[in-house]
Amino acid sequence: MHAPRSPTTIEPELLMLAYRSGIFPMADSRDDPEIFWIEPRLRATLPLDGFHMSHSLARTLRRGRFTVTCNAAFSQVMDACAAPRRVRPDSDDEGGSWISHRIQSSYESLHALGHAHSIEVWLECDSGERELVGGLYGVGFDRVFCGESMFSRETDSSKVALCWLVAALRRAGATLLDCQFMTPHLASLGAVEMPQKRYLALLQQAQSSTGASGDATGAGATADGVAVGEDTAAGAEAVLALPAAFAALLEDASAVGKASSPGKVIAQALTQTS
């Protein structure tokens, strides 16, 4: 008798179709071979010109305590996001993960194709090596970025990753940052909640040739017509993937003489619109 065949990864085409339709996969546990498709009744998004940055977070960015990269450790970020979480003793949360091995393998395939991206936050150790202490990952296409999960091992490290993501998406000309489900943490950073029907309308706008209007995120498309994925809607202008927009932020920082601490440029840009 043959052993049961392990489930294959989700086809990249199916995953991208799901995201373009406002749907995403989850699993019941890390080892669950099955997936189910989620279409929330209420959807959380983070307006790109409405990011709420505290004074302490701005100071952290300006100090340059962390080194931030893009797509340098995608699988490591997914591993960290999928790791068991610490929970309060009085909580019903079991601390498990909806990121199954099958889901992780599927997103790693998307990453290899240029459709999924990560932001990594590193802290230099006394030994001179750097340690991954925070980050996030998600899926990018047209003028949309769908944030999937984030993690933090040092104070403010995941917030720093989100600051860089927002700044890069603005630099790219994105108009919609999907956060899926609202949490108190996201609400404190400026996320808003809306009916799924409204989200789908904004999603459709963000995939159109002109991009979403300012009503989508409070930020209209740039003159460059730049977006965050490798895919382009019919008739759309050429797009720029998130890694290229991230690199452009570093170039911007270098151009103003702050290459040693690009976080200063990020903090200044986000403070002006917070």
Residue extents of the structural domains in the chain: 12-271
- The mean pLDDT of the chain is 84
Q: What is the pLDDT of residue 109?
A: 97
Instruction: Lowest mean pLDDT of 32-41, 93-102, 138-147, name the range.
Output: 93-102
Structure tokens at 239: 């797009």
Percent above pLDDT 90 for the chain: 66
* pTM: predicted TM-score of the whole model, two decimal places: 0.84
Nearest to 208 by CA among 233, 182, 177: 233
- E-strand spans in 41-163? 42-45, 67-70, 116-124, 130-141, 144-152
Predicted local confidence at residue 268, as pLDDT: 86
Q: What pLDDT is attached to residue 94?
A: 52
Q: What is the pLDDT of residue 8?
A: 85
Residue 119 is predicted with a pLDDT of 98
pLDDT (average), residues 128-154: 96
pLDDT at 236: 47
pLDDT of residue 224: 34
Alpha carbons 192 and 185: distance in angstroms, whole number? 12
**Token pair of 19 as six digits:** 């995201």
Task: Residue 50: count other Cβ atoms within 10 Å of its Cβ.
Answer: 17
Cα gap 241→243, rounded to integer Å: 6
CA 127/CA 117 separation, integer angstroms: 29
pLDDT of 185-234, one tens digit each? 999 999 999 999 999 999 999 998 544 443 333 333 333 333 445 444 44
**In this structure, how many other beta carbons lie within 10 angstroms of the beta carbon of residue 111?**
19
Q: What is the mean pLDDT of residues 133-156?
A: 97
What CATH class is the domain 12-271? alpha beta
pLDDT band (50, 70, 90) for residue 91:
very low
**pLDDT given at position 34:** 94
Long-range CB contacts for residues 194-197, cutoff 8 Å, separation at least 24: 194/42, 194/43, 194/45, 195/41, 195/42, 195/43, 196/22, 196/39, 196/40, 196/41, 196/42, 196/43
Residue 220's pLDDT is 37
Please give the residue that has the higher pLDDT: either 94 or 148: 148
